Amino acid sequence: MSAITHHTPDAMLAAYAAGSLPQPFALVVASHVSLCVHCRVALEAHHSAGGAVLETVDQVAVSGNLKAYLLARLDTPFTPQPVVKRSGIFPGPVMEAMKGRAPRWKALGAGVRQDILMASNAGSVRLLYIPAGQAVPDHSHGGLELTLVLQGSFTDETGAFGIGDLEVADEDLDHTPVAGPGEACICLAATDAPLRFNSLIPRLLQPLFRI
């Protein structure tokens, strides 16, 4: 794997550590952290800082039956959830989202394929398969988009992105991602609003492709 040069922003890592990052973005950040030592160390620092803050907060009165409730919970048998491991190019969080299955690709045209892993009011997460040299139609964004490269590479107006790199795109970015040479580019992408395609055909097909 080449060196990772595009990282999760620190404020986003802090939100992920606090549990306040929306689920679609949390999946992408968790996948990036699993690949990136730099962000893994930064995340641990946020966890440590959060623990230190908790030690300084004032005590708060709780309900009288809290102790009995906690003791009853301790008597409840605990079944640990199995840890889903990385498989091939797919990090553990992605494999967990796919429930251990292989991608179920659906064609979008021009060799581009997708597999929607999650879709809710909070946003959506999908795997994208883009053949080498193929461009994604130029678009801007109605909200935030996180794109993590799992295989291959792509370039756009902001630079080059290889395996493990994370692109953070917002309403200010209008770009045309192009898959690099060699292997097809496979990305994990999360959005909280539909993309804004500049060309007519992608806009007409957008409701069908749910992107």
Confidence tier at 170 by pLDDT (50, 70, 90): very high
Locus of tokens 């969080």: 93
CATH of the domain at 16: 2.60.120.10
What is the C-alpha to C-alpha distance for residues 42 and 5, in angstroms, rounded to an integer?
Answer: 15
Q: What is the mean pLDDT of residues 48-74?
A: 67
The per-residue pLDDT for range 110-157, each reduced to its tens digit, is 999 999 999 999 999 999 999 999 999 999 999 999 999 999 999 999
| Single pTM value for the model | 0.83
Tell me how many domains the chain contains: 1
Domain housing 96: 1-211
Helix count (H) and strand count (E) of the chain?
A: 6, 11
Q: Is the pLDDT of residue 194 over 60?
A: yes
